C-alpha cells in the first residue's frame, strides 16, 4: 500500500493558529460583561450532577458514572464501566481488564498496557507514550468516572480513537468522616478498605488504604494488591485553588494463559499448560503517582489551570521464557486557559490547552528465566529502551448561534517523538525521530425541546504507536553466534500514526420511556495499529503493525426507565446496547473481513425494585454475540447469555449499607476476551480467556461522621 501523504503543520502554522484564536478572543471581548457560561471542565470537588450537566454541552456521546452510589462488587475497571452504552470492559480474571470504545485497542491482550483511550486521574494524564497502566485504578478510591467517547475528549487534548476516561478521586468534600468497607466472595475474593475525609477551613482531605486478594477462576490465577491514596485540596484565596494527589499501589498476579473454545466449553478453569510449565506471573512491585492541579480564576470570565504528574511504575514480567524488568517513569503536564466572551455578538467560550506526556525512563533488562541452549538461568540476553514524548496543543471555540443551537470548532496539533534501540548487545540500528500531525473538529448541539437534544461532530483522531511496540514486535533478530541474545529482536521497526476521520450523530433526552440516548458513528481509519499473536507462550511473540484501511461503525443506545412508582417503592429498568461493525476495506489478503476481538452485539440490562425503607432487589443479564478469533475469520468464540441477581439494604441514615449478589447464575462457560491470531485455518487455537463462572459475593460499608 502506498504511503498516505499528509500535510504536516510547521511551527509557523502552529504560531498562526494560536495567534488567530488569541486575537479573535481579545478583539471580540466587548466593554459590557458577557453572559457567564459554566465551564465544561469538572474538578474533583464538583458533584455528579454538575458533571452530567457539563456532558450535555459536549457535541457528542459520553457517560457519567456515579461510583458513590454503587451497591455491588467493585473488583476492578470492568465493574466500574458496566451497564454503559458504547463501552466494552471485560476482565480476564485479574485487574488487567480489556477496555474498548468504538473498537479502540480492539486486539490488545488483557493485562497489557491499554491502547486507544486517553485515561486521566483527576484531569491529570495517566496514559503515557507507552499506553495506560492499570494498577492505580482502584475503584474504591473513586467518586465517579467521566467518559467522553470517540473524538469528544478533544477539549482535554485526548485525541485517541476511543476518546477519554477521567477517573475522579473521592475528596473530603464528598466523603467526610471514617468509612470502612469489606467485600468477600467466591474463589477467595476479599477486599478491605478504610477511608477518612473531611474539611478544615480552606483545606479538604481524603485518605484511604485498600487491599485485595483472590484465588482466581482458572488454575494459576491467584493475585493480590494493596495501596494507599491521598487527595488534599487548599483554597488559598477565593480565586486560587491547588490540589495534591498521591497514589501508591503494589500488585501481583499469576497468568493462567488463554484456552481453546473446546477447553472453555468443557473445563474453563484449566490453565494453559505452557503458562503452568513456566510459572507465568506479573509482579508490579510498586507504582507511585504524585500530582498537582492548580486553578487560578483570573477574573469573572477567564481561568488558567496547570497540572503536573510524576509517575513511576516498574514491572517485573515473568510471562515467557525471559524475565523482563521494566523501569517506567513518566512526567506528564497539562496547561489550560479558558475565556468567556462575545464573538460576533454571541456568547462564546474559547479554550487553549497543552498536554504533554514524556518518558523519563522506559528501559528494559532481559535475562533467561530457565536454562536454555547451554546458558544458565539468569543469563543476560538484552537491554533495550523505548522512550517517547507526545505533545498536543489544542485550541477550540464554543459559540452560541441561538438560544438552542451551539457550534463547536477546534484544531489540535500533535508532535510525537520516539527513541528506540537495543543498548546491549550494542547495535547501531537506533530509531529516533519526531513527527507532526493534526486533528480538526467541527460539532454542534441543538436543544430541540427542553427534553430533547441533538448533537453531532466531524472529527479527526490521531494515535501514535507506542515506542515499545516498535521493538517488541520487530522482525529483525540477532543472528546465530550472538550468544544468549541469538534469535531476540536486535532493532526496532517504523510504525505510522493511526488516524481516523469520524462522523458522529446522536440525540439524548428524557421522555415517557425514561432517560435515553442514541448515537451512531462511522470512522474511516488509516494505518490502524493491529496486533497479532505470532508465537504463543512460552516463547510469546506478539507483533503490532499498521493495517490497510479499515472501517469502524456502530450504534450506541442507553435507556433508564421508571416502570412503576408509588408509595410502596419504585421499579426501574436500565439498559445499554452497543452494535459494533469493524472491518477491513478491501484488504489484499482478508478482503472485507471483520476485525476479531470484540462481539458485534453487546447488551446489558438490570431490572430493579427499591423500597422506601432502603431495601432493594435486582436481576440482571448480559448478552454478547460470537466473535472471531483470527483475522481470516476462520474460527469464532461462542456467544453467551448470563444472568445475575442482587439484594441489599441502604440504611436511611446513610451510615451503613449491605449487599449480596450472585453472578452467572447458570454457570455459563464463555470467552470474556480474545487475543487474535493471523489465520488459524479453522483450527481451535488457544486464544480466549474465560469469564468467571457462578459466584456469590457480599459486602458491607460503614460510615462514621
- Taking the C-alpha atoms of residue 651 and residue 612, their distance in angstroms, rounded to an integer, is 10
Contact of 116 with 161, CB cutoff 8 Å:
yes
- Taking the C-alpha atoms of residue 122 and residue 469, their distance in angstroms, rounded to an integer, is 28
Helix, coil or strand: residue 604: strand
Q: For 91, which DSSP code?
A: -
For residues 28 and 485, which has the higher predicted lDDT (pLDDT)? 485
- Residue 235 confidence (pLDDT): 97
For residues 75 and 26, which has the higher predicted lDDT (pLDDT)? 75
Average pLDDT over residues 627-638: 97
- Residue 44 confidence (pLDDT): 39
Grid look-up 507526545 returns 390
- Taking the C-alpha atoms of residue 481 and residue 270, their distance in angstroms, rounded to an integer, is 39
Reported as a single tens digit per residue, the pLDDT across 330-370 is: 999 999 999 999 999 999 999 999 999 999 999 999 999 99
Assess whether pLDDT exceeds 50 at residue 598: yes
Reported as a single tens digit per residue, the pLDDT across 571-590 is: 999 999 999 999 999 999 99
Whose CA is closest to 611, among 641, 580, 569, 560?
Answer: 569
Grid look-up 487548599 returns 234
Average pLDDT over residues 34-56: 59
Average pLDDT over residues 160-172: 95
Whose CA is closest to 617, among 606, 603, 629, 625?
Answer: 606
For residues 41 and 179, which has the higher predicted lDDT (pLDDT)? 179
Assess whether pLDDT exceeds 80 at residue 309: yes
- Taking the C-alpha atoms of residue 570 and residue 608, their distance in angstroms, rounded to an integer, is 8
- Residue 633 confidence (pLDDT): 98
- For the whole model, what pTM was predicted? 0.92
Whose CA is closest to 495, among 536, 519, 466, 516?
Answer: 466
Assess whether pLDDT exceeds 50 at residue 177: yes
- pLDDT band per the 50, 70, 90 thresholds, residue 19: very low
- pLDDT band per the 50, 70, 90 thresholds, residue 280: very high
Assess whether pLDDT exceeds 70 at residue 476: yes
For residues 339 and 55, which has the higher predicted lDDT (pLDDT)? 339
Reported as a single tens digit per residue, the pLDDT across 408-419 is: 999 999 999 999
- pLDDT band per the 50, 70, 90 thresholds, residue 46: low
Grid cell listed for 569:
417503592
Give the number of other Cβ atoms within 10 Å of residue 252's Cβ.
Answer: 17
- Residue 40 confidence (pLDDT): 39
Q: Which residues contact 54 (CB under 8 A, 6 or more apart)?
A: 38, 39, 40, 41, 42
Assess whether pLDDT exceeds 70 at residue 5: no
Assess whether pLDDT exceeds 60 at residue 36: no
Cβ-count burial of 682 within 10 angstroms (0-12 exposed, 13-18 middle, 19+ buried)? exposed
Grid cell listed for 165:
476516561
Average pLDDT over residues 77-103: 93
Assess whether pLDDT exceeds 60 at residue 37: no
Q: How would DSSP label each residue in 348-376?
A: EEEEEEEEEEEEEEEEEEEEESS-BTTBP
- Taking the C-alpha atoms of residue 273 and residue 251, their distance in angstroms, rounded to an integer, is 24
Q: What percent of the chain has pLDDT over 70?
A: 93
Reported as a single tens digit per residue, the pLDDT across 220-232 is: 999 999 999 999 9
Q: Identify the weakest region by mean pLDDT among 112-121, 611-620, 625-634, 659-668.
A: 112-121
- pLDDT band per the 50, 70, 90 thresholds, residue 38: very low
- Taking the C-alpha atoms of residue 53 and residue 163, their distance in angstroms, rounded to an integer, is 19
Backbone phi, psi, residue 327, to 5°: -120, 90
- pLDDT band per the 50, 70, 90 thresholds, residue 240: very high
Amino acid at each position: 500500500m502506498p504511503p498516505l501523504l499528509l500535510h504536516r503543520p510547521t511551527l509557523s502554522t502552529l504560531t498562526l493558529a494560536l495567534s488567530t484564536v488569541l486575537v479573535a478572543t481579545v478583539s471580540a471581548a466587548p466593554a459590557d460583561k458577557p453572559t457567564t457560561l459554566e465551564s465544561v471542565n469538572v474538578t474533583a470537588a464538583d458533584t455528579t450532577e454538575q458533571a452530567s450537566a457539563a456532558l450535555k454541552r459536549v457535541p457528542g456521546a459520553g457517560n457519567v458514572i456515579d461510583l458513590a452510589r454503587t451497591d455491588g462488587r467493585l473488583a476492578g475497571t470492568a465493574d466500574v464501566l458496566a451497564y454503559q452504552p458504547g463501552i466494552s470492559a471485560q476482565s480476564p480474571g485479574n485487574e488487567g481488564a480489556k477496555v474498548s470504545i468504538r473498537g479502540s485497542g480492539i486486539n490488545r491482550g488483557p493485562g497489557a498496557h491499554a491502547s486507544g483511550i486517553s485515561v486521566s486521574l483527576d484531569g491529570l494524564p495517566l496514559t503515557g507514550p507507552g499506553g495506560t497502566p492499570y494498577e492505580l485504578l482502584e475503584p474504591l478510591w473513586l467518586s465517579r468516572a467521566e467518559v467522553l467517547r470517540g473524538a469528544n475528549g478533544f477539549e482535554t487534548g485526548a485525541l485517541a480513537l476511543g476518546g477519554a476516561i477521567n477517573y475522579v478521586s473521592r475528596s473530603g468534600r464528598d466523603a467526610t468522616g471514617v468509612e470502612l468497607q469489606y467485600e468477600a466472595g467466591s474463589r477467595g475474593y476479599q477486599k478491605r478498605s478504610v477511608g477518612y475525609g473531611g474539611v478544615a477551613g480552606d483545606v479538604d482531605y481524603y485518605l484511604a488504604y485498600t487491599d485485595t486478594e483472590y484465588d482466581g477462576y482458572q488454575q494459576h490465577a491467584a493475585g493480590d494488591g494493596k495501596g494507599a491514596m491521598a487527595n488534599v485540596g487548599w483554597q488559598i484565596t477565593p480565586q486560587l485553588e491547588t490540589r495534591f494527589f498521591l497514589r501508591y499501589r503494589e500488585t501481583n498476579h499469576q497468568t493462567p494463559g488463554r484456552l481453546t473454545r473446546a477447553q472453555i466449553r468443557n473445563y474453563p478453569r484449566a490453565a494453559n499448560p505452557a503458562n503452568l510449565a513456566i510459572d507465568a506471573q506479573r509482579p508490579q512491585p510498586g507504582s507511585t503517582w504524585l500530582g498537582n492541579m492548580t486553578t487560578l480564576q483570573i477574573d469573572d470570565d477567564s481561568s488558567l489551570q496547570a497540572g503536573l504528574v510524576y509517575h513511576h511504575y516498574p514491572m517485573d514480567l515473568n510471562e515467557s521464557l525471559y524475565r523482563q524488568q521494566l523501569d517506567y517513569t513518566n512526567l506528564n503536564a497539562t496547561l489550560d486557559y479558558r475565556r468567556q466572551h462575545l464573538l460576533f455578538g454571541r456568547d462564546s467560550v474559547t479554550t487553549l490547552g497543552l498536554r504533554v506526556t514524556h518518558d523519563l525512563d522506559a528501559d528494559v533488562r532481559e535475562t533467561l528465566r530457565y536454562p536454555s541452549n547451554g546458558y544458565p538461568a539468569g543469563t543476560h540476553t538484552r537491554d533495550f529502551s523505548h522512550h517517547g514524548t507526545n505533545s498536543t496543543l489544542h485550541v477550540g471555540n464554543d459559540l452560541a448561534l441561538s438560544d438552542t443551537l451551539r457550534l463547536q470548532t477546534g484544531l489540535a496539533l500533535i508532535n510525537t517523538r520516539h527513541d528506540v534501540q537495543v543498548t546491549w548487545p550494542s547495535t547501531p540500528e537506533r530509531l529516533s525521530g519526531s513527527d507532526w500531525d493534526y486533528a480538526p473538529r467541527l460539532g454542534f448541539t441543538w436543544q430541540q425541546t427542553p427534553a430533547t437534544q441533538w448533537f453531532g461532530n466531524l472529527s479527526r483522531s490521531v494515535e501514535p504507536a507506542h515506542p515499545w511496540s516498535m521493538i517488541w514486535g520487530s522482525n529483525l533478530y540477532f543472528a546465530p553466534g550472538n550468544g544468549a541474545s541469538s534469535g531476540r529482536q536486535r532493532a526496532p521497526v517504523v510504525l505510522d500514526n493511526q488516524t481516523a476521520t469520524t462522523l458522529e450523530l446522536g440525540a439524548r433526552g428524557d421522555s415517557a420511556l425514561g432517560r435515553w440516548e442514541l448515537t451512531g458513528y462511522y470512522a474511516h481509519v488509516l494505518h490502524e495499529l493491529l496486533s497479532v499473536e505470532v508465537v504463543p507462550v512460552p516463547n510469546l511473540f506478539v507483533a503490532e503493525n499498521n493495517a490497510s484501511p479499515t472501517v469502524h461503525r456502530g450504534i450506541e443506545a442507553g435507556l433508564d426507565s421508571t416502570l412503576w412508582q408509588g408509595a410502596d417503592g419504585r421499579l426501574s429498568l436500565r439498559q445499554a446496547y452497543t452494535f459494533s461493525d469493524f472491518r477491513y476495506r478491501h484488504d489484499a489478503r482478508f478482503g472485507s473481513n471483520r476485525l476479531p476481538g470484540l462481539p458485534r452485539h453487546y447488551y446489558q440490562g438490570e431490572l430493579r425494585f427499591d423500597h422506601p425503607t432502603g431495601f432493594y432487589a435486582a436481576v440482571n443479564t448480559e448478552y454478547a454475540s460470537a466473535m472471531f478469533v483470527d483475522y481470516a475469520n476462520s474460527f469464532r468464540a461462542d456467544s453467551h447469555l448470563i444472568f445475575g441477581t442482587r439484594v441489599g439494604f441502604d440504611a436511611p441514615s446513610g451510615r451503613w449499607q449491605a449487599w449480596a449478589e450472585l453472578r452467572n447464575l447458570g454457570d455459563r462457560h464463555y470467552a470474556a476476551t480474545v487475543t487474535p491470531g493471523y489465520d488459524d485455518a479453522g483450527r481451535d487455537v488457544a486464544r480466549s480467556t474465560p469469564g468467571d463462572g457462578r459466584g456469590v459475593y457480599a459486602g458491607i460499608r460503614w460510615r462514621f461522621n
